[in-house]
Amino acid sequence: MRVKLEPETAFVGKKFAYIFLGVIFSLNAITFIWFFYSLT
């Protein structure tokens, strides 16, 4: 049971990591663009 469950949890973790990185990257991009526009 544990062997069967491990790949599934690893796949969910990788999926969650990609979503988490995507959210952080998009938030950083929005903040950088807002900061750049506020300077000009």
Task: State residue 3's pLDDT score.
Answer: 58
Q: Phi-psi bin for 12: left (phi > 0), alpha (psi -120 to 50), beta?
A: alpha
Say what the pLDDT of residue 34 is.
95
Q: Report DSSP state, residue 1.
A: -
Per-residue pLDDT of the chain (40 residues; tens, 9 = 90+): 455 666 676 777 788 889 999 999 999 999 999 999 998 7
Q: Distance between CA 5 and CA 26 in Å, rounded?
A: 32
Q: What pTM was computed for the model?
A: 0.54
**Would you state the pLDDT for residue 5?**
63
